[in-house]
Amino acid sequence: MNPKAYASLILVTTLTMGLAFPVGRIGLDYAPPFLLMSVRFVIAGLLMAALTARRPRPKRLLPWLRIALIGALNSAGVMGCSYYSMRWITSGESAILIFVNPLLVILFGALFMKVRYGALQWAGVTLGFAGVFCTMGAHLSMNPGTLISLLGACCFAASSLLIKRWGQTFDTWVLTGYQMLFGGIVLGLLSALFEHPRIDFGGGFYFSLVWLVFVNSILQFSGWSWLLKRGDPAKTNAFLFLAPFFGVVGGALLLGEPLHAYVAAGGAMICAGIFLVNWRGAAPRSVATTAERA
């Protein structure tokens, strides 16, 4: 892939990922988190299903179950946890915690997918995580919101690795649409079980829903799935350290959340970590997966 096109797509996807948190927080004033995310993903999934009606789809049950699992983790798990956590923490803090994902991708990849990463990659991810910690003001309060966001980060890492492992067998647009649809259905069930579903229709709700459906769900999810399928998941996910930075800045601009000088220091550490992870000498020594050996 052309390096400039890759960098541009990374910038667009991480920027929209970061802005999803303050924009979504606006929507939470009008609907509870599981319901808001369910409506978002069901609408986006149905739109994508209609747009991809003539594209190749799985013909057996197992591939559909794989898409459903990716949707349960990537749509329901990640976004359900991140938006539910905003009952206790700010949108910026939720974004930062969700995007410890790159460190978890390397850990999970090393533990479960037999991928060995170089010292520079480990150092880069560690530095990036330190930058995230610095962006939070060098403190981390442990409360239900913190733990729920970290659970969402685990879901994010697991779904990233599964997309890398299975994604080559699916059309990118079909995978994007149906995993959102399955995730939306899971979130709808969670809303029925644990919430009092209600929507207060208003300008803020429509703005949040339109942005989340068209920008974050269709544009961002398609772009990110495409990137994961064509590159090493640890390297690609290293750029996710940019998303919480954009989330904190977006929270300050859209919601008036506090923005401090240490955010700039954290951003510099994040960029340095990304540089180290993507340094050529840090390339992972991969062990072929079952699919690659077949």
What pLDDT is recorded for position 141?
58
List Cα–Cα distances, 52 to 49, 180, 194, in angstroms: 5, 13, 33
Q: How far apart are CA 28 and CA 220, in angstroms?
A: 21
Structure tokens at 131: 């930058």
Q: How far is CA 270 from CA 14, 41, 204, 235, in A?
A: 13, 30, 32, 13
- The residue type of 106 is I
Q: How wide is the angle at C-alpha 60 spanned by C-alphas 55 and 61, nearest 5°?
A: 115
pLDDT tens for the chain, residues 1 to 294: 677 777 788 888 889 988 999 999 999 999 999 999 999 999 999 999 998 899 999 999 999 999 999 999 988 999 999 999 998 888 888 888 887 777 777 777 777 767 777 888 788 878 877 877 787 666 655 678 888 988 998 898 888 888 878 888 888 889 888 999 999 999 999 999 999 888 999 899 999 999 999 998 888 877 877 787 776 666 776 677 788 888 888 988 998 887 777 777 877 787 787 777 766 544 454 433 323 323
The residue with tokens 């150092």 is 123
Q: Which of 235, 214, 224, 223 is nearest to 277 (CA)?
A: 235
**Distance, C-alpha 116 to centroid of its chain:** 23
pTM of the model: 0.78
